Amino acid sequence: MAKETPYQVLVRDLPTHRQFEVSAVQVAEWLKGLPMRDALGAPDDDPEAGQGVAELDLYADGAHAFAAGTFRGELTVACSRCISPVKLVIDEKLRVTFMPRHEIAEDDDEDEPAADADADEGAEVAEDDLDVFPFDGERVDLEPLFREQFVLGVPYAPLCSETCKGLCPQCGIDRNTASCSCTPPIDPRLAALKGLKIPS
């Protein structure tokens, strides 16, 4: 028997409209291990880790279950240049299908990249592009869906600002708020060249 989570809904309770809240502690746990989260050095119960609220209509047709609605929240990760905290906003429309694992495996074979970049516009997403999650036929488990909102919400290289100057690679000072007199080390191969006089 799978562990109960606060994000499960029994199929016999469908259709229903539910609101789910994701706590900071939960967000911190889901993001643990991601370099841009761990770089903050925040405690496990960091109240600033993030939070989320899902408003979902849930329904089922027998073999499948469906969830549609919104997910709004935020999360905090480290700037990839200066490692100061960056708050990111999540505001997503969700349309998700829950289907038995064997059906998901079949569908993966015909997976094609989306033809356009409209994936954020819930209304315009073609049926093939819908998010799919496994379904055991008894309960809809929304945890992987919510977790995905946070994990996918972390960009490859988050920035506190497009113009972030980052940390000095030698002394570690934050170049946004202070300056140092370090000079970049010279590559030894270039140093050798420096002594050369180019004949004119």
Interaction site with Zn ion (CB under 5 A) = 79, 81-82, 160, 164, 168, 170-171, 180, 182
Q: Which is nearer to Zn ion, 16 or 170 (CB)?
A: 170
Give the shortest CB-87-to-Zn ion separation in angstroms: 12
- Nearest approach in angstroms of CB 168 to Zn ion is 3
One-letter amino acid identity for 71?
F
- For Zn ion, the closer CB: 16 or 161: 161
* Pair of tokens at residue 198: 């180019």
CB nearer to Zn ion: pick between 104 and 168 = 168
Minimum distance between the CB of residue 192 and Zn ion, rounded to whole angstroms? 25
Q: From the CB of 155, what's the least distance to Zn ion, in Å?
A: 13
Nearer CB in complex with Zn ion: 10/180 = 180
Question: Among candidates 174, 167, 100, which has minimal Cα distance to 133?
Answer: 100
